[in-house]
Amino acid sequence: MPYLNTTEVESATVGLAAAFPQLTGLIELPERSVEGRTCHALRIGAESLAPKDDVVLIGGVHAREWGSCEILVHFAADLLEAYTSGTGLAYGGTSFSSDQVQRILNELDVVVFPLVNPDGRHYSQTVDPMWRKNRNPANSGGDPERIGVDINRNYDFLFDFTTAFAPAAGPRTSADPLDEVYEGPEPFSEPETRNVRWLLDEFPRTRWFVDVHSYSEDMLFVWGDDENQSVQPLMNFRNPAFDGRRGVAGDLAYAEFIPKTDADAAVLLAEQFCQGLQGVRGRPYTPMSAFHLYPTSGTSDDYAFSRHLVDRDKGRILAFTIEWGTSFHPPWAEMRNIVLDVDAGLVQFCLSAA
């Protein structure tokens, strides 16, 4: 099958809820996109008397990364079909038993939000294949080149990057609407990011979060603003004493604090994902901190993990970003293989979490 368009992604999500009513709950996100599209997510899990922890998976954030939606739709369908039929799952050289599939849905609720940015995807698939942002014209001044906000720079994490980062850091973030990494006028200015925030609030037992992107064949864990350290807790994103020092690799001026237990757990889960993926057909993905791809601010994974540090009433979420493949929209024959790769990694990730 070819890539799904925006309508087809929504139809697939709604269709899975209708086909598996005993195992799913259809979630209508509270805010429509700028162009008026309604988004849906899917909660997948077996009924349980005891509360279960949640894994939240999102995709379709950057418009041109077409295959992320297909990865999540197929992942949801695979889990539902295998659980219902009592069979295992096989992805090339990686396989999972029926008992393992049952364990995932018996012990976890998996929340799948396949298409965060429907307007951007539609524009990318019909007008400009390399479009990245959403389609919000509010800050464009009427210039079509300045339309849109990079959703994955619009979260509330070190949003004032010019203050937070060292001048030499050059984080992949911009305050200029002309740039494809434009952060927007303020955190959560966009309905798409507000929908993701709502989803995390709506599922307060979320313990794991994965944002599916392309490309570079990596599994990224926090942090994205600087290298990780577990020795100096006062050296952290909330401390203004370190403003102007963040984002430079290999220096001694700053590194972002993460408790060692969290750091170790994140590395282990990233490695488990990569092992499950590599078993399919031998593709070696790299587990590494997001900073080692390039320094960023305002991203979904850093925001998701930072929530419990900013507000102690919120639960801790180990957060990750997948960077699948080696191009934004590979030929479908290759994308189909990538779907199998990443879905195997995600099943292994959920199994390890469970």
- Domain-located, residue 345: yes
- Domain-located, residue 281: yes
Q: What is the pLDDT of residues 223-234, one digit of tens each?
A: 999 999 999 999
**Predicted local distance difference test score (pLDDT) of residue 275:** 98
Q: How confident is the model at residue 13 (pLDDT cuts 50, 70, 90)?
A: very high
Mean pLDDT across the stretch 332-340? Answer: 97
Mean pLDDT across the stretch 9-14? Answer: 98
Mean pLDDT across the stretch 235-262? Answer: 97
**Predicted local distance difference test score (pLDDT) of residue 49:** 87
User: Can you give the CATH number for the domain in which 108 is found?
Assistant: 3.40.630.10
Residues spanned by the domain of 295: 6-353
Residue 66: which of 145, 140, 126 has the closest Cα? 126
**Predicted local distance difference test score (pLDDT) of residue 1:** 59
Place of tokens 């392309």: 214
Mean pLDDT across the stretch 274-285? Answer: 98
The total number of structural domains in the chain stands at: 1
The 10 Å CB-count burial string (b at 16+, else e) for 253-273 is: ebbbbbeeebbebbeebbbbb
Q: Does position 101 have pLDDT exceeding 90, yes or no?
A: yes
Q: How confident is the model at residue 243 (pLDDT cuts 50, 70, 90)?
A: very high
- Domain-located, residue 1: no
Q: What is the pLDDT of residues 214-224, one digit of tens each?
A: 999 999 999 99
Place of tokens 């952060």: 183
The 10 Å CB-count burial string (b at 16+, else e) for 283-301 is: bebebebbbebebbbbbbb
- Domain-located, residue 343: yes
- Domain-located, residue 253: yes
The mean pLDDT of the chain is: 97
Distance CA 249, CA 169 (A): 8
DSSP 3-state of 294: coil
**Predicted local distance difference test score (pLDDT) of residue 170:** 85
Q: What is the pLDDT of residues 148-189, one digit of tens each?
A: 999 999 999 999 999 999 999 989 999 999 999 999 999 999
**Predicted local distance difference test score (pLDDT) of residue 207:** 98
State the DSSP code for 165.
B
Token pair recorded at residue 29 = 């996100």
- Domain-located, residue 331: yes
- Domain-located, residue 218: yes
| Model pTM score | 0.97
DSSP string, 125-139: HHT-TT--S----TT
**Predicted local distance difference test score (pLDDT) of residue 304:** 98
